[in-house]
Amino acid sequence: MFKNTHLATYMFLMLTVAIWGGTFVAVKIIVADVAPLVGAFLRFLLASLCLIPVLIYKEKSTALVSKRDIPLLILLGLSGITFYNFFFFNGLAMTSSINGGLIIAFSPVLTTVLSPFILGENLRLRQVLGFVISLSGVIFIISKGSLSLLASLQVNKGDIYISAGAFCWSVYSMGGKIATRKYSPLLSTTYACTLGTFFLLIAAFPQLQSFSLQQLTYKSMTALIFMGVVASALSFVWWYDGIKKIGASKAAIFQNFIPVFSALFSVLILGEKFKIYHFSGAVLVILGVLISNQKRNCFSRLSSVVKNPDHL
C-alpha cells in the first residue's frame, strides 16, 4: 500500500496527526488560564502571523485573490476558524479532551454525507452506513454508554459544543474543496485563518478588555505557541507536502490516528480516565469513517462474491 521510498513522508504525516491529537490537551491547558475566545483568538493570531510570510514567499504575486472569491474565503474563515474554534475552545472548557478528540473524529464522515447536498457529489449506501455507525459512536460517547442519560437529556453541554464544532469543520472542508479548485491549499488556509482571526477578534473583544498577559502561565504560554505555530502553521506545511507526495487519499488514512493520540495524551498529560464507553464509541466512530471511505471496487467485489462464490 505504501512505498518505502516515502518513509520520511509517512513519518512526518504521523508526526502531524500526533501534533493535532495534542491540540485537545493544549486547549484544556489554555482555557484553565484565559477565557476560551481569548485563547482561540491568540492561537490564530500566531498562526496568521506565521502563514502570511510563508504564503508571500511561496506564491508571491499569485497570493492575491479575485474579489468575487472573497465571500467564499469569508465562509471558510467563519466556519473553520471562528465558529469551529468558538465551539472547540468553549466545548473543551466543559468536557474532557478524550471526548473532544473522539467526537471530532466524526467530522470526515459527516462531510461525506453532507457533500451531495452542497457539492452535488453522489451519495452511496456505504457512506450512509458509515455515517450511521459513526453517529452511533458519537451518541455512545456523549451518553457515556447510557441511553437513560440521553433520554433524560442529562448530557454534557461541552460534548454538544464539540459536536457543533464537527459540523462547522465539515462546512469548512466542503468550502475548502471549492476553494482549492482555483487556489492552493496554502492560500485558502492563510486567507481563512486571517479572516477568521479578524472575526474572532470581534467575538472575543469583550473578554479581551479584561485580559492581561500576566494571566498566561508558562504552561499556557507554551500551549498557545504550540497551537499557533506548531499545530496551525508548521503542521499545515507538513500535511500538504505529504498530500503532494503520496496523494490525498493515502494521507487521509493518517487522520484516523488523531483520536488515538488525543486519548493517549489526555491520559498521560492530564490524567484523564479512558473508560469502556470511550473505547466502544471510538471503535464505532473510526469503523464508520473507514466504511464511508472504502473504495467502490472493494464493495463491488464483495457484491460479486455474494452473488457468485466461484469468484473466490
**Does the predicted TM-score (pTM) go above 0.75?**
yes
Q: What percent of the chain has pLDDT over 70?
A: 82
Higher pLDDT, 97 or 144: 97
Q: What is the DSSP string of the chain?
A: ---GGGHHHHHHHHHHHHHHHHHHHHHHHHTTTS-HHHHHHHHHHHHHHHHHHHHHHHHGGGG---GGGHHHHHHHIIIIIIIHHHHHHHHHTTS-HHHHHHHHTTHHHHHHHHHHHHT-----HHHHHHHHHHHHHHHHHHTTT-HHHHHTT---HHHHHHHHHHHHHHHHHHHHHHHTTTS-HHHHHHHHHHHHHHHHHHHHHHHHTT--GGG--HHHHHHHHIIIIIIIIIHHHHHHHHHHHH-HHHHHHGGGGHHHHHHHHHHHHS-----HHHHHHHHHHHHHHHHHT--HHHHHHHHHHHH-GGG-
Look at residue 148 in the predicted model and tell me its pLDDT. Answer: 63
Give the type of residue at 83: F
Rounded mean pLDDT of 22-46? Answer: 92
Look at residue 121 in the predicted model and tell me its pLDDT. Answer: 67
Look at residue 308 in the predicted model and tell me its pLDDT. Answer: 42
Shared domain check, 76 and 204 = yes
Higher pLDDT, 205 or 169: 205
Q: How many domains does the chain have?
A: 2
> Distances in Å between the alpha carbon of 22 and those of 28, 82, 158, 237, 261?
10, 20, 18, 17, 7
- 65-79, 134-148, 156-170 — which is least confidently predicted? 134-148
Provide the pLDDT confidence category of residue 236 given band limits of 50, 70 and 90: confident
Higher pLDDT, 147 or 281: 281
Shared domain check, 32 and 124 = no
Average pLDDT in the chain:
80
Shared domain check, 264 and 120 = no
Rounded mean pLDDT of 56-69? Answer: 86
Shared domain check, 306 and 192 = no
Look at residue 251 in the predicted model and tell me its pLDDT. Answer: 67
Rounded mean pLDDT of 191-204? Answer: 93
* Alpha-carbon gap, residue 236 to 160, rounded angstroms: 27
Shared domain check, 305 and 233 = no
Shared domain check, 94 and 39 = yes
Q: Which residue matches cell numbers 460479486?
A: 304
Shared domain check, 263 and 293 = no
* Residue 283, domain extent: 110-155+275-312
* Alpha-carbon gap, residue 33 to 123, rounded angstroms: 44
Higher pLDDT, 134 or 82: 82
Provide the pLDDT confidence category of residue 58 given band limits of 50, 70 and 90: confident
Provide the pLDDT confidence category of residue 299 given band limits of 50, 70 and 90: very low
Shared domain check, 138 and 214 = no
Shared domain check, 124 and 205 = no
Shared domain check, 200 and 180 = yes
CB 280 within 8 A of CB 98: no
Higher pLDDT, 69 or 252: 69
Shared domain check, 252 and 308 = no
Shared domain check, 179 and 311 = no
pLDDT digits (tens, 9 = 90+) for 208-217: 988 888 888 9
Look at residue 295 in the predicted model and tell me its pLDDT. Answer: 58
CB 199 within 8 A of CB 168: no
* Alpha-carbon gap, residue 297 to 295, rounded angstroms: 6
